[in-house]
Homo-oligomer: A and B are copies of this chain.
Amino acid sequence: MKNECLNCACVMRSMQSLKNCQLEQLENNHAVVQFRKGDSIIKQGMFSTNVVFLKSGLVKIHITGPYHEQIVRLAKAPTYLGLPTTIGDKINQYSVTAVQDSEVCFIDLNIFKRVLEENKDFSSYIILELCKSELESYRRCASRTQKQTRGNLADVLIDLSENVFESDEFVLPISQSDIGNLVDASRESVNRLLSELMNDGIIRMEGRKIEILNKNSLQLISQNG
């Protein structure tokens, strides 16, 4: 267990500034847990007493909307999960569920807050992360509402390819109905649009395996709907 934190991406970025005693505090107050695909990591409505850091894997962040559950975004390791929902409110304001097997580190909230207070650089780093993520959420929301489904779907495919899997060929980590949810469309629409992309030779699909054949076209679709 000793020095586990030292090598964890959780502290890596601010490591140079974390003192040994602070590292030790983290060492003694964290727990690493394995989650299987489909497992719930953070559940909206429950008390949150831990900061959650995704060490490996892929998750979806989702929130209960006025009519139905809605996927806000996918998040891949390494990243903090639910920083806002943990610090901003005692009760989780959204849920996080593994969409691939994941490894998660739970850090006691009080310890985390103490380290945050004791370490300027660390708190600066967290503030910066929070700011960026809020900006990102504004952008995402604007896209989602302005673009029509075709464009949003293209965005999801591009995002999966470029940011999540870093390859033109990958296996869809979520169902078509989840994709629909993520782009504010019905499962049927997603299906029809995917077929269309196949017919147009822009992607190739075999089951959930997808290959992007023409990224250019996809980007055009992203831009022009």
Contact = CB atoms under 8 A, between A and B. Distances in A.
Interface SS of chain A: helix, strand, loop or mixed? helix
Report, as a range, how many residues of chain A touch the other chain.
35 or more
A157 to B, nearest CB: 16
A6 interface: no
A70 B141 CA distance: 10
Contacts of A68: 146
Interface in A130-160: 130-135, 137-147, 151
25 contacts: A63-B139, A63-B142, A64-B142, A66-B143, A66-B146, A66-B147, A68-B146, A70-B142, A72-B138, A84-B131, A84-B134, A87-B131, A88-B128, A88-B131, A88-B132, A88-B135, A116-B124, A123-B123, A123-B127, A127-B127, A130-B130, A130-B131, A137-B138, A140-B141, A145-B145
Sort A-B residue pairs by CB-CB distance and give the 6 closest, nearest first.
A88-B131, A65-B142, A84-B131, A141-B141, A130-B130, A84-B134
